[in-house]
């Protein structure tokens, strides 16, 4: 059955140095893709690429930085330019989970600049090639927070509402082309996300422990592969993935 995962397809995964992005890079490599593993922490990317072998490459990329995204292709070997799959995964909630006026304005803006503007920057950079080849699949990491807001989430939930609206409109923009757009919307996933949000590994671990049953990054990586595996007449528009509670 034809899908967006023919052997050797090139996938760019942002935020591949940890959590969902790292596991997605592994899953795509196992599925036969060549994977560009992108993030800011290069040493982590190098370790991942060493594990995945010659079908993976590390790319130092800060999605919140115009110049870094602008130079994306100039830092990739030409044989890696024809990106078929873009997984917009890089994201954080630094300083989050507090009432709006208690948060630091710079941190609020960093969340938007990564989760929203970063996604837009990278998509804008990659989509021209997809259009030229009339082939591509863009997968955006949204969140349940993109449809169900919560107290203390004005900026993070706001950013994921933006991912939600962007993903739906983008899918309609390219409905008549070979480009598909999917949004994966996870509930709670145990990653480094909470440590970044609260500023320490201990606080992050305590948050997940108190929450109870969490998804794993592997669960979400499987969802990404599922969206890509569909035959051409099927487009997974949104996939909400929640922990079952037991
Ligand atoms: N964990 C959850 O419960 C959950 C639930 C729903 C949705 N999500 C979404 O899933 C995505 C991944 O989160 P995660 O849980 O895997 O978190 P994580 O373990 O903290 O990983 C976040 C990744 O994003 C990267 N990143 C952050 N800022 C970046 C930037 N400016 N440029 C490039 N990369 C950047 C980090 O790499 P560097 O620091 O090396 O750059 C890291 O690889 C996010 O979009 C998040 O909003 C998470």
Residues in the chain: 246
Q: Is residue 195 part of a domain?
A: no
Share in percent of the chain as helix, strand, coil (round to 5) = 50, 15, 35
Measured between alpha carbons, how far is 222 from 185 in angstroms, rounded to an integer?
13
List, in order, residues 6 or more apart from 47 with CB less than 8 Å away: none
- Is the distance from CB of 206 to CB of 190 less than 8 angstroms? no
Contact yes or no for 40/116 (Cβ under 8 A): no
| Statement: residue 138 has pLDDT above 90 | yes
When the pLDDT of each residue in the chain is averaged and rounded to a whole number, the result is 97
Among 93, 98, 116, CA closest to 193: 93
With tokens 């979400």, the residue in question is 220
Q: Cβ–Cβ contacts within 10 Å for residue 31, how many? A: 18
The tens digit of pLDDT for each residue in 163-184 reads: 999 999 999 999 999 999 999 9
Instruction: Among 19, 37, 204, 215, name the best residue to mutate to test ligand 1's pocket (greatest count of ligand atoms within 8 A of Cβ).
Output: 19
pLDDT band at 189 (very low <50, low <70, confident <90, very high): very high
Mention every residue, 6+ apart, whose C-beta is less than 8 A from residue 64. 110, 113, 114, 117, 118
Distance set, CA 123 to CA 112, 139, 152 (Å):
15, 10, 29
In the numeric block, the tokens 């598909």 are attached to 180
Closest atom of ligand 1 relative to the 62 alpha carbon: 32
Does residue 18 lie within any of the structural domains? yes
Number of domains in the chain: 1
For ligand 1, whether the C-beta of 204 sits within 6 Å is no
Question: How many other CB atoms are found less than 10 A from the CB of residue 75?
Answer: 13
**Domain at 99, CATH number:** 3.40.50.720
Residue 116 lies in a domain: yes
Residue 200 domain flag = no
Examine the residue annotation and report whether 156 is marked as an active-site residue of this protein.
yes
Residue 153 Cβ inside 6 Å of ligand 1? The answer reads no
- Token digits for 227? 């969206």
How does pLDDT run across 54-91, given as a tens digit for each residue? Answer: 999 999 999 999 999 999 999 999 999 999 999 999 99
Q: Check: pTM over 0.85? Answer yes or no.
A: yes
* CA distance linking residue 246 with residue 243, whole number of Å: 8
Q: Which domain holds residue 75?
A: 10-186+217-241
What does the DSSP 8-state code read for residue 15?
S
Confidence of residue 246 (pLDDT cuts 50, 70, 90): low
The alpha carbon of 1 and the centre of ligand 1 are apart by a number of angstroms equal to: 32
- Whether residue 209 lies inside any domain: the answer is no
Residue 193 falls inside a structural domain: no
Domain-embedded: residue 196: no
pLDDT tens digits, 109-118: 999 999 999 9
- 35, part of any domain: yes
Q: How many CA atoms lie within 13 A of 28 on its CB side?
A: 34
- Of ligand 1's listed atoms, the one at least distance from the Cα of 163 is 45
User: Both tokens of residue 173?
Assistant: 């923009």
Confidence band for 3, pLDDT divided at 50, 70 and 90: confident
Tell me what pLDDT residue 1 has: 52
């Amino acid at each position: 059955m034809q899908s967006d995962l023919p052997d050797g397809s090139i996938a760019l995964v942002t935020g591949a140095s940890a959590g969902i992005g790292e596991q997605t890079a592994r899953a795509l490599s196992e599925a036969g893709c060549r994977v560009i593993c992108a993030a800011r922490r290069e040493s982590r990317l190098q370790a991942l690429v060493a594990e995945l072998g010659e079908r993976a490459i590390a790319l130092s990329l800060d999605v919140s930085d115009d110049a870094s995204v602008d130079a994306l292709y100039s830092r990739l070997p030409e044989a890696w330019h024809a990106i078929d799959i873009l997984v917009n995964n890089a994201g954080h909630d630094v300083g989050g989970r507090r009432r709006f006026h208690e948060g630091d304005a710079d941190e609020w803006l960093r969340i938007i600049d990564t989760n929203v503007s970063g996604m837009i920057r990278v998509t804008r950079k990659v989509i021209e090639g997809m259009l030229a080849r009339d082939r591509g699949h863009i997968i955006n990491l949204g969140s349940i927070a993109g449809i169900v807001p919560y107290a203390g989430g004005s900026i993070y939930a706001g950013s994921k509402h933006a991912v939600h609206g962007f993903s739906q409109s983008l899918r309609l923009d390219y409905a008549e082309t070979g480009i598909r757009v999917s949004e994966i919307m996870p509930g709670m996933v145990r990653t480094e996300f909470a440590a970044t949000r609260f500023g320490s590994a201990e606080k992050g671990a305590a948050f997940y422990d108190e929450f109870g049953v969490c998804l794993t990054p592997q669960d979400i990586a499987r969802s990404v592969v599922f969206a890509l595996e569909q035959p051409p007449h099927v487009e997974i528009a949104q996939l909400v993935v929640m922990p079952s509670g037991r």
